[in-house]
Amino acid sequence: MKELLKLIEEKFHKTFKIDNISKVEIDSRNIKKGDLFFAINNGRNYIENVLKTEDTIVICDDNKWKNHERVIVVEDTIKAIQSIAKDYRKRLNIKLVGITGSEGKTTTKDIIHGILSSKYKTKKTVGNYNNHIGLPFTILQLDENDEFGVIEMGMSHKGEISALCDIANIDYGVITNIGDSHLEFMINRDNVFLEKSQIKNYISEKNFFIFGDDVYLKNLSGNKIGFNENNDFVISDYSETIDGVNFSVNSNSYSFKLNGKHNCINASIGIALGLSLGLTSSEIQKGLNLVQVTPMRFQKIEKDGILYINDAYNASPVSMKASLETFNRINFSKKKLAILADMGEMGKDEIFYHEDVLNFANNTDIDTIIILGSLMKEAYKNIKSNKFILVENKDEIKKLIKNNFSDRVILLKGSNFNHLWEII
């Protein structure tokens, strides 16, 4: 990352006795020789330890380090990482794909990365580093030899998508869907759409890819992907197996290893982008086979003879229903148990949304449903069904699995703060 070192030396009028920056870090525990460390928030507490490692450089907003030869003191470290990332991106000869949407951002990012990696040197956002700190951090992981970057763009407040686009200067844009996410701050879906759709202002129509069956997105101009015949890329012949989904896009057949209609759509968006870039169907299928999916996205884990489906990284009404629908559809040849926990950031109608999910679950063929969390508990008061088991904590769930449900296939679904993975 010689170009990044050159940029920093020019920007801050300082010279360092190294030839190259090894990598950029915001977590002091990962520091190695030659790393650049941004001391964000509590990171300033670890500057001394970072500087003990040879050839490290620190950028911070703590004046007590202003005379250290390997420290650059700025007014605001977060603004500094954003500014440096924006300038660094301009120096890179790379194409960036920006992905936003209410659900499916991370999986779609993984898919597009896999597809592009079949032909190009490509990097992607690690995990879901997709906010005002995570996105510039991701850009600073790129180097001069990369050909494509696939970056996730999250938001919870107005103005955030435009700010991220301004930093990233994206070449291609994707909106996966518009759902009931972050309603605590965004109030309603109309506001979510207005914010997410800001991405279209930073790219041309031919480089814009959207789920064309979405009631909000279908009226935007761009490449539309969906099951309806009026889309530019039409999905058909969709089917589920235990191992994933089979489907066609514009009559070419594909397969993908994650279950769910929503993941078929996510994969089809990636296929549309790949086709638009000139990749062949065989290159795209090779890329789909290469996809490394971020954990806790309908992830199958077998332990002690029990098959768990861990889909519990995050949750909204749309993703809860999609997960339940997929779980319901697959023939596992065993009875099914779903564990459902609270959804976060649902706003003033949070009980209504939880009740809606429970009613949906009640109308599936899933044999037993365990519910956890204060919001689920409140919503359950209006549900009349003997299919549900209400519990107070995860220890109760573990005992129930061990004593009563060790012969089941088990779905875990809820927002990440529930830590449902602890059950496994």
206 and 340 belong to one structural domain: no
Q: What CATH number does the domain containing 38 carry?
A: 3.40.1390.10
107 and 54 belong to one structural domain: no
Q: State the average pLDDT over residues 171-184.
A: 84
Least confident of 178-187, 207-216, 375-384: 178-187
Whether residue 158 lies inside any domain: the answer is yes
Whether residue 336 lies inside any domain: the answer is yes
Question: Whose CA is closest to 314, among 196, 154, 175?
Answer: 154
Among 46, 62, 81, where does a domain finish?
81
- Tens-place pLDDT, residues 55-76: 999 999 999 999 999 999 999 9
pLDDT reading at 183 higher than 70: no
181 and 43 belong to one structural domain: no
User: What percentage of the chain carries pLDDT values higher than 90?
Assistant: 87
Q: What CATH number does the domain containing 397 carry?
A: 3.90.190.20
- Tens-place pLDDT, residues 301-321: 999 999 999 999 889 999 999
Single-letter code of the amino acid located at 184:
E
Whether residue 364 lies inside any domain: the answer is yes
Whether residue 6 lies inside any domain: the answer is yes
275 and 313 belong to one structural domain: no
365 burial (CB, 10 Å; 0-12 / 13-18 / 19+) is exposed
pLDDT reading at 252 higher than 70: yes
Among 81, 114, 138, where does a domain finish?
81
Q: State the average pLDDT over residues 241-267.
A: 95
- Tens-place pLDDT, residues 72-118: 999 999 999 999 999 999 999 999 999 999 999 999 999 999 999 99
48 and 175 belong to one structural domain: no
Looking up tokens 């949750």, which residue turns up? Answer: 315
Q: What phi, psi does 54 have (nearest 5°)?
A: -60, 140
- Tens-place pLDDT, residues 318-338: 999 999 999 999 999 899 999
pLDDT reading at 157 higher than 90: no
| pLDDT given for residue 186 in this prediction | 60
269 and 305 belong to one structural domain: no
pTM equals 0.88
Whether residue 275 lies inside any domain: the answer is yes
On whether the CB atoms of residues 306 and 410 are closer than 8 A, the answer is yes
Instruction: Give the span between the Cα atoms of 236 and 251, in whole angstroms.
Output: 7
Whether residue 334 lies inside any domain: the answer is yes
339 and 374 belong to one structural domain: yes
308 and 339 belong to one structural domain: yes
55 burial (CB, 10 Å; 0-12 / 13-18 / 19+) is middle
Among 81, 104, 129, where does a domain finish?
81
pLDDT reading at 173 higher than 80: yes
On whether the CB atoms of residues 377 and 347 are closer than 8 A, the answer is no
For residue 98, give its domain range. Answer: 92-290
Whether residue 87 lies inside any domain: the answer is no
200 and 321 belong to one structural domain: no
Give the number of domains in the chain. 3
Q: What CATH number does the domain containing 224 carry?
A: 3.40.1190.10
pLDDT reading at 185 higher than 80: no
304 and 419 belong to one structural domain: yes
Instruction: Give the span between the Cα atoms of 153 and 403, in whole angstroms.
Output: 43
| pLDDT given for residue 384 in this prediction | 85
216 and 304 belong to one structural domain: no
Compute the half-sphere exposure of residue 297: CA atoms within 13 Å on the CB side of its CA: 23
Whether residue 86 lies inside any domain: the answer is no
414 and 313 belong to one structural domain: yes
